[in-house]
Amino acid sequence: MNKADIGLIGLAVMGENLVMNMESKGFTVAVYNRTVDKVDKFIEGRAKGKNIIGAHSLEELIANLKSPRKVMLMVKAGKPVDDFIEKLLPLLDKGDIIIDGGNSHYPDTQRRTEYVESKGLLYIGAGVSGGEEGALKGPSIMPGGSKEAWPPVKPILQGIAAKVDGHPCCDWVGEGGAGHYVKMTHNGIEYGDMQLIAESYILMRDMLKLSNDEMSKIFAEWNKGKLDSYLIEITADILSYKDEENKYAIDYIMDTAGQKGTGKWTAMDALEEGVPLTLIAEAVFARCLSSDKEQRRHAEELLGKNSPKAPEDKEQFVKDIENALYAAKVISYAQGYVLLRSAAKTYGWNLNFGGIALMWRGGCIIRSAFLGKIHEAFTENPDLENLLFAPYFANAMKEAVPSLRRICSYAMQEGVAIPSMASALCYWDGIKTFSSGANMIQAQRDYFGAHTYERTDRPKGEFFHTNWTGEGGDTQSGVYNA
């Protein structure tokens, strides 16, 4: 057999499916796995008769690769990636490329890019989204790292990625850890989308007392309109799914949400960047609150259970939930993009924001028609400061926000917790308020800590201190902080 176009290490489901996908697109792939039995099983099983070469050692894997060699790691994030890099370095030559397609945290990818480049080789950290099915049929791929590595890798990664209107959901993101940063933000947005859907569900279930089938129909209907997306589609399926005993699966699934940490990373990074990513942060906290069911049982017994009343016009309420979900989703993406802008500045990445929307439009969990509109907004204005300022979204919000306001008011009054929708409304009202209450915070900081303040009637950059009590003196905190 000819030499392979690419080598892949890590034959768990994602790795195997990516190999099958690459092979189906005409690439020859060499494979290796730490537990070598899995190589033989794969070669004799799914890979039988395909252009796939099994290797029983890293040396054998590397010997089977065309130059410049490309080796993709699909192993557990963390130490295994560093270990494989160490083992690969002596086997590779200048200009060869190591690609990490796992769920690595972006600072690791930043560090590894620098390290591998310092050894004369090239590195790519690629976020891959779409789960097992995506890996096989076409995922969304977000590659970043050594820019020189992109041209040789591009035909393979774009070849296996999902396509929307013939456009691959994969393009160069930026240097260093940019690819994994964008993937992390994607996951944070996914947390937000899922929480908003869960809030819509709870509003319909607990306030309107709708049946699972009724809700399933509503979500299926929403999926034909502006909320058209993979997550809305699967929600309709989930609600109507009955098991062998004719019971609705959703009714007996425990309401304690798990998490693997990528939403938390996104929220932590937003705090680090000083970006108000409130909706996603609330979505992470909502999972935390859900996870302790015993505490919620205790609190319900001790503090009292709410019994929300249904609104009079149920049909209008369902329409309002649809619009509220949409408005909150726009806010969530607006916040996510502000985070990306901020990180791009911090790390010196030249991110193509419209291109990122295209990468997310297919293949991945947050895929939706809506991302096409985001792409258009950034194509019109690549320097768009906030998605809410794009004419299309500004108009859409004018129509949808009254519904978000009605839903939040009613849910608050009746005692249904919708933290992500509520945070969206607070952000919307907050960003539109030129004259906020932060003058009070500045006054307090100056009162107790002589932190000084700027004045509205003097030029910016001039700092003042008031001796509020007549006893504090005129010393400013900066003087003794220095």
Residues that bind ligand 2AM (CB under 6 A): 10-12, 33-35, 38, 75-76, 80, 83
State both tokens at 396: 């859409």
CB of 80 to ligand 2AM, least distance (A): 4
CB of 242 to ligand 2AM, least distance (A): 34
**Closest Cα partner for 184 from 100, 105, 277, 112?**
105
State both tokens at 132: 């097992």
How large is the angle between the packed helices 230-240 and 212-222, nearest 10 degrees? 160
How large is the angle between the packed helices 391-414 and 370-380, nearest 10 degrees? 130
Catalytic site includes residue 294:
no
Nearer to ligand 2AM, 12 or 268 (CB): 12
Contact, 7 vs 31, CB < 8 A?
Answer: yes
Catalytic site includes residue 242:
no
Nearer to ligand 2AM, 82 or 206 (CB): 82
Contact, 135 vs 21, CB < 8 A?
Answer: yes
CB of 79 to ligand 2AM, least distance (A): 6
**Closest Cα partner for 331 from 413, 254, 276?**
276
CB of 19 to ligand 2AM, least distance (A): 12
Nearer to ligand 2AM, 103 or 146 (CB): 103
Nearer to ligand 2AM, 109 or 423 (CB): 109
Nearer to ligand 2AM, 112 or 341 (CB): 112
Spell out the SS3 assignment of 387-420.
Answer: HHHCHHHHHHHHHHHHHHHHHHHHHHHHCCCCHH
CB of 29 to ligand 2AM, least distance (A): 15
Nearer to ligand 2AM, 83 or 454 (CB): 83
Cα-Cα end-to-end distance for the chain: 69
CB of 102 to ligand 2AM, least distance (A): 8
Contact, 42 vs 66, CB < 8 A?
Answer: no
CB of 14 to ligand 2AM, least distance (A): 8
Catalytic, out of 23, 190, 199, 282 = 190
Catalytic, out of 183, 226, 264, 373 = 183
Nearer to ligand 2AM, 10 or 174 (CB): 10
Q: Which residues are catalytic?
A: 183, 190
